[in-house]
Structure 1
Amino acid sequence: MTTKNLLVELFVEELPPKALKKLGQAFGIELVASLNAQNLISLRAETDDDQESTQFFASPRRLAVWVKDVLVQAPDKAVSQKLMPVAVGLDAAGSATPALLKKLQALGADASAVSGLKRVMDGKAEALFYESTAKGAMLAEGLQKALLEAIAKLPIPKVMSYQLESGCELPGWSSVSFVRPAHSLLALHGSEVVPISALGLKAGNSTQGHRFEAAKSTVVVADADAYANTLEKDGAVIASFEARKAEIVKQLAAAAAKVGGGVKPIEDDALLDEVTALVERPNVLICEFEKQFLDVPQECLILTMKANQKYFPMLDASGKLTNQFLVVSNISPADASAVIGGNERVVRPRLADAKFFFDQDRKKTLESRIPQLAKVVYHNKLGSQGERVERVRAIARAIGQQLGGDLLAKQADRAALLAKADLLTDMVGEFPELQGIMGGYYALNDKETPEVAAAVEDHYKPRFAGDELPRNQVGVVVALADKLETLVGMFGIGNLPTGDKDPFALRRHALGVIRMLVEKAPTLQIIDLIARSVPAFGSLIQDQSSALNDFIYDRFAGSLREQGYSAQEVDAVISLRPQKLAEVAQRLAAVRAFAQLPEAPALAAANKRVGNILKKVEGTVEAKINSALLQAGEEQGLADALKSVAARADSAWANGQFEENLKALAALKEPVDAFFDKVMVNHDDPAIRANRLGLLASLHQAMNRVADLSKLAA
């Protein structure tokens, strides 16, 4: 069948910038999926590139999709429909029953179709099947269905209801709902308009370009393939989100090179996506502000320029903020001085506010603000921020004492005392994202030690996956204490994550604790840390240490699988709940090396068998062997081999050589196999039976110090 390329565009008022990229992709994906489901897209070779066969467009005022090789009509399709069991549809003489005739009539067939019915075994009985040919969908009806489905499935958190303009398809006082009011619909199959409608609009071959710089007030698109070029030429709009983004990146780099001196715009993918969603034809301009504002911490200036103005601050070669910044304008006048001057005037009050907040905040010390934390509610079941600070202090002292003695405990206590005080400053009140960061600056201003100031700044770290960890041990202790207080407290009042809801970021806190224990505090043990944290709450909570311990190990397991370890490897190690999380990577490496040994499958299977035997025994089996009760040669052989292997394995274990510990177990394969081939564990004599169980318990203990090897069994 003949195919042509298809272009569909919805032209609307300005779309939400932070959602534009997602909306554009969802619109295109859903529309193409629906066309595919209706067989309206020609079958392509497996080597075809999806990017060459479809293209999504998203600009501030349009959502569009281009699809290659779309059919005018989908191919006819053979349909086989099950009617009923033969015994129900045919009588003893083989004639159609009334039930069968009624069913055929409902399908548009008559009694003449009975002879053409097929008999096919369906389970234990024969059934009658009616075979027919369904006409393929026409493009107009198929695209209409696809467009409505794509609109309905757009990820819009909140829709607008608006009155239709006069002259629309639905006259009178009709209204529709969409993310933003829609003004036109374009649908071209090659050069032909596809007669579809949506949101009160009929499809045509025209759209609108840039509000101010379009060469033509109405942009007429000759055919589907000419869409992007025509819109850019006549409409002054770069329709492709990715092409517009690439153009902005190119212009940002060119502007920075023009400034010289090794400066570069700040890298921020979220900001870049948002700005891409705000402009239709980007024009990057160089602006500047007064150097006096550089006395304010650069984090404040950067945040206000990015969050409030969508500007790109510029950093010098050492990463220090300069007084120049870049603006991505949506217009390109011959003389840009008015645009530059306007943006410079707009940013000045923002920076002045930041300077004012910074100067005012420094008039009071952090310590003087602490009593006011008693008036700030943290959680209705866990009290105020002031009470929370005292709990964090108690936990920090305990961890600091364990990790570094009196000095570290004292420093951690001081940092924990001051850590939340910046919540009451004007700067953090205006920019909550700066909590901790401003605390560090204000602590230095108050003449606190550099170690304490750094800990105040770092105690929220890591804030997200891949974030930096605290720089010094004081920061590590306070960050651990802060996250453990949250975890223990929330678990203690039953406020746990459910599904994708995690309002207190407990999953992130757990991963932060894991990273710090692995990378910064390898000697600390997780169950001990949780136990040290619970007393700080007194009678406010129920002790949920066991559930919290499981939660943390579950997060750790998930993280390890994301790093490329297999589910078997991770389960083998994590199921033993190793307390020193820093050892886990080494244990995983040892398990992976052990799995490559030829003896590994048999030993893993034997280990699983031993575990199952021991589980069935009532009471506790002591890992103890009485040599005088060993009877069979294979029984004695296993005991001797275990004694020999245990010496080497214990030595390797004591020296932290996990791989050597597991490799030593390879010598047990043959005696273990022989034992299970020749020895009956459940001997009639209770003493012999207990001794054999003790032998197996000793074997199980020796084999499962690094990991539970039964998890490797097929």
Structure 2
Amino acid sequence: MMQPLLIELGTEELPVKALPGLAQALFDGVIDGLSKRGVAVERGAAKPLYTPRRLAVSLPAVAAEQPEQHSEVLGPYLNVALDGDGQPTKALQGFAAKAGVDWSQLERARDNKGERFVHRARKAGARTADLLPEVLREAIAAMPIPKPMRWGDHDYAFARPVHWLVLLLGETVVEGELFGVRTGRDSRGHRFLHAGGVAIAQPGAYLDALRAAKVLADPDERRARIVAEVEQAAREAGGHARIDADILEQVNCLVEWPKAVRCAFEPEFLAVPQEALIATMEANQKFFPVLGESGRLTEHFVGIANIDSKDPEQIRQGYERVIRPRFADAKFFFDEDLKQGLSAMDAGLASVTYQAKLGSLADKAARVAALAEAIGPKLGVDGALARRAALLSKADLQSRMVNEFPELQGIAGRYYARHDAALDDLGTDDRQALANAIDEAYQPRFAGDDIALSPLGKTLAIAERLDTLAGGFAAGLKPTGNKDPFALRRNALGLARTVIESGLDLDLRALLFSAALQSVTAIAATAPQDAKKRQEHFKGTGIDATDVPPSADGFVMHALHDHFASRGETLHRLESGPLVADLYDFVLDRLRGYYADRDVPAQHFNAVAALRPASLYDFDRRIDAIGTFATLPEAEALAAANKRIGNILKKAEGEIPAMVDPALLREPAESALAEAVEAVYAETGHALAHGDYVDALAHLARLRPQVDAFFDGVMVNADDPALRGNRLALLKRLADRLGSVAAIEHLSV
């Protein structure tokens, strides 16, 4: 017999951010506990139910008892269990006593080692009502409670003090006690809108009974009402609501009976950057801003009360009163920053340390500026403008506004750049581009955020991330485990996304080398003169201290050039060194997750990564091409053939001839393959040179008949060394072209 089940744990207000997770954990724990005990559960469309003051599990059908329980315990083998007279030994007598039966009642079973005694038993399943208290205790013990709280003089702890416990199986209360509270059928309604308890007749009546008591226990229903109320209030204010998903979820965990309250603030505050006002409303007060048709903030906002008040005007005045001081502060900070000017703020960066070995924020801005000046022309951006924008890109970190609202870095700089008199020499378009770029340099700010939109913004975004990555690695800050204080993983992905999604065909290794060289320079400039101390200074950076000579005037670029020249080497030896290689591999590793999120198979990624393309945009085009190639019927066979060729070439002894000698082509199949290979070289040369990898792979796919025929009819390792060498040369030439787009052998299962 199946019966509905209801569990409700009533508490003080639970932690907002932990609430959904706690509800899900309780829900999963109860179902797992019942299933582990063999109790059948029909969950249907059941889901976790919760409000700020309760966690609930409501299941439509649970078996009233366990199925019959069967057990089998293996005992000793006959040669150990019985003596020479066939009488039980102490081993068998002990086994029978433990099973609670006479040895003669034991059954026998045979396995590959022989015959042995076994005790088989059956017993009726336990009632689910008897199992539920322990199931609930186990589920609660496994919940991820962030900071357990104790109350009264008890030893037990939970997220918040527990006040009531409903436990119903069908219409019957399951007897039990938890946290000093006896189970019952009485829940509680809204703290202010409903007096007394709420008797739950049976689990199916739970949601309706609480709804009548002014509590929406279904989080989806509650969330939908919040959205509807907010949108209606925004329409009444003549705009539309900005509903941030995270803020909506937090509000949903703060209220049991949501009611929208339309509010407003003084229009003079709209002179402040709207991002600051929105941040205050959302993060600090959990209000919903109202935007106009153009997407600009209006003076209206919507608050959600946890009560349907008889006097909503009092609530409105309270919401407006609490927000006004924060807005006044923001306006004061903004006005004072405008008086100072962005360029003046920039002067203070020299006194702020970015990282001990990498110098100040001013030093970082200078490095980013040098990179931006070099990268800008590749994106059609004036190098001088890129440099100027980069030098100002960190200035707003010295502003009062960013000090109060750290999330506005870059955004505040955009506003200040538009008003800075020191930038009056720029034309209108250049000034606007510079201002926007200061903001866009931080994009993407988080997973799923857009990349920088403008060419100048992309330039700064790339330069900023290059310096952060190279500096972090050069200073020995490569992430380990969960530790990534300079967000190098996020910066690597942001760099890759900006380059790929903008279609920028840039040489990543050359960019990393330039950034790494500047970072090495910066680190050397702070290095002590004493040899032993210098060696310790560079320890863990991946840099050889002998590669960065000291200079009386501090480390300068020409000193590094002179140092390598004195050793008969070139500065560009660093480009293929471990630092740049580590940086390249680190960026590539971030791409693995990026393409996985785009449902690119790991084999496709590995096939392209094996070639280590210098350009990430080129990498992306190869990924697309290999995806198209993999759908062709010839793909699997050619991938397997290329894998086979690779194994043959690895085992080849001696030097493989550089060219195929037509005079040594004996078999028709090898002649046909040689002719096909030369033809495909001619057909794919132009496509490969212009990055048309789909076309190149389409031509390569046509080689399958000749490749199959070659392996079916030709012995590669012929006895004649000349024939063997010529056939290896043919396979090598084939493999070189088959692997020109990607290492297609990775596609072979």
TM-score (structure 2 length as normaliser):
0.87
- Cα distance, 1:584 vs structure 2: 4.0
User: What SS does structure 2 have at the residue aligned with 1:8?
Assistant: strand
| Residue 604 (1) aligns with residue 595 (2) | no
Query: 2:500, 2:620 within 8 Å by CA — same for their partners in 1?
Result: no
- Cα distance, 1:141 vs structure 2: 4.0
| Residue 207 (1) aligns with residue 207 (2) | no
For 1:269-668, list aligned pairs within 5 A: 269-404=245-380, 408-447=382-421, 448=423, 449-538=431-520, 540=523, 541-542=541-542, 543-617=578-652, 621=656, 623-668=658-703
Query: 1:480, 1:516 within 8 Å by CA — same for their partners in 2?
Result: yes
Q: Out of 33, 51, 56, which is 2:48 matched to?
A: 56
For residues 185-212 of structure 1, the C-alpha deviation after alignment (integer angstroms, 9 at most, x for no partner) is 1211222221122222221222322221
Query: 2:346, 2:396 within 8 Å by CA — same for their partners in 1?
Result: no
- Cα distance, 1:292 vs structure 2: 0.7
1:691 corresponds in structure 2 to 726
- Cα distance, 1:490 vs structure 2: 2.5
User: What SS does structure 2 have at the residue aligned with 1:544?
Assistant: helix
RMSD: 2.4
Query: 1:623, 1:696 within 8 Å by CA — same for their partners in 2?
Result: no
In structure 1, C-alpha distance between the alignment counterparts of 2:150 and 2:714, rounded to whole Å: 80
Query: 1:623, 1:701 within 8 Å by CA — same for their partners in 2?
Result: no
Q: Out of 169, 191, 203, which is 1:224 matched to?
A: 203
| Residue 676 (1) aligns with residue 711 (2) | yes
- Cα distance, 1:364 vs structure 2: 1.4
2:108 corresponds in structure 1 to 117
For residues 464-506 of structure 1, the C-alpha deviation after alignment (integer angstroms, 9 at most, x for no partner) is 2221221211111111111122222223344334445544333
In structure 1, C-alpha distance between the alignment counterparts of 2:613 and 2:115, rounded to whole Å: 59
In structure 2, C-alpha distance between the alignment counterparts of 1:333 and 1:594, rounded to whole Å: 65
Which ranges in structure 1 are unaligned for 5 or more consecutive residues?
Answer: 164-172
TM-score (structure 1 length as normaliser):
0.91
In structure 2, C-alpha distance between the alignment counterparts of 1:17 and 1:693, rounded to whole Å: 68
Query: 1:21, 1:241 within 8 Å by CA — same for their partners in 2?
Result: no
Query: 1:82, 1:128 within 8 Å by CA — same for their partners in 2?
Result: yes
In structure 2, C-alpha distance between the alignment counterparts of 1:408 and 1:89, rounded to whole Å: 93
1:186 corresponds in structure 2 to 166
User: What SS does structure 2 have at the residue aligned with 1:18?
Assistant: coil
Query: 1:59, 1:277 within 8 Å by CA — same for their partners in 2?
Result: yes
Go from structure 1 to structure 2 and tell me whether the alpha carbon gap of 1:128 and 1:317 turns closer, same or farther (over 3 Å shift).
farther
Of 419-428 and 497-506, deviating more is 497-506
Query: 1:287, 1:344 within 8 Å by CA — same for their partners in 2?
Result: yes
For residues 78-135 of structure 1, the C-alpha deviation after alignment (integer angstroms, 9 at most, x for no partner) is 2233445555445677665432332332233330232x232244xx666654322254
For residues 3-61 of structure 1, the C-alpha deviation after alignment (integer angstroms, 9 at most, x for no partner) is 3211111111111112212221222121222122212334x4xxxx731xx24211111
2:234 corresponds in structure 1 to 256
Go from structure 1 to structure 2 and tell me whether the alpha carbon gap of 1:705 and 1:125 turns closer, same or farther (over 3 Å shift).
farther
User: What SS does structure 2 have at the residue aligned with 1:665?
Assistant: helix
Go from structure 1 to structure 2 and tell me whether the alpha carbon gap of 1:106 and 1:352 turns closer, same or farther (over 3 Å shift).
same
For 1:88-99, list aligned pairs within 5 A: 88-89=80-81, 96-99=88-91
Query: 2:470, 2:516 within 8 Å by CA — same for their partners in 1?
Result: yes
| Residue 28 (1) aligns with residue 10 (2) | no
In structure 2, C-alpha distance between the alignment counterparts of 1:284 and 1:104, rounded to whole Å: 72
Query: 1:403, 1:524 within 8 Å by CA — same for their partners in 2?
Result: no
In structure 2, C-alpha distance between the alignment counterparts of 1:673 and 1:476, rounded to whole Å: 48
Q: Which amino acid aligns with 2:435?
A: A
| Residue 241 (1) aligns with residue 232 (2) | no
In structure 1, C-alpha distance between the alignment counterparts of 2:614 and 2:623, rounded to whole Å: 14
Of 455-464 and 673-682, deviating more is 673-682
- Cα distance, 1:438 vs structure 2: 0.5
| Residue 138 (1) aligns with residue 127 (2) | yes
Of 373-382 and 145-154, deviating more is 373-382
Go from structure 1 to structure 2 and tell me whether the alpha carbon gap of 1:593 and 1:620 turns closer, same or farther (over 3 Å shift).
farther
Go from structure 1 to structure 2 and tell me whether the alpha carbon gap of 1:329 and 1:537 turns closer, same or farther (over 3 Å shift).
same
In structure 2, C-alpha distance between the alignment counterparts of 1:533 and 1:642, rounded to whole Å: 42
Sequence identity percentage: 42
In structure 1, C-alpha distance between the alignment counterparts of 2:150 and 2:306, rounded to whole Å: 28
User: What SS does structure 1 have at the residue aligned with 2:334?
Assistant: helix
Q: Which amino acid aligns with 1:309?
A: Q
Residue correspondences, number: 688
- Cα distance, 1:683 vs structure 2: 4.3
Query: 2:479, 2:488 within 8 Å by CA — same for their partners in 1?
Result: yes
User: What SS does structure 2 have at the residue aligned with 1:39?
Assistant: coil
| Residue 3 (1) aligns with residue 9 (2) | no
2:138 corresponds in structure 1 to 149
In structure 2, C-alpha distance between the alignment counterparts of 1:619 and 1:278, rounded to whole Å: 75
In structure 2, C-alpha distance between the alignment counterparts of 1:444 and 1:104, rounded to whole Å: 91
Which ranges in structure 2 are unaligned for 5 or more consecutive residues?
Answer: 424-430, 524-540, 543-577
- Cα distance, 1:353 vs structure 2: 1.0
Go from structure 1 to structure 2 and tell me whether the alpha carbon gap of 1:692 and 1:375 turns closer, same or farther (over 3 Å shift).
same
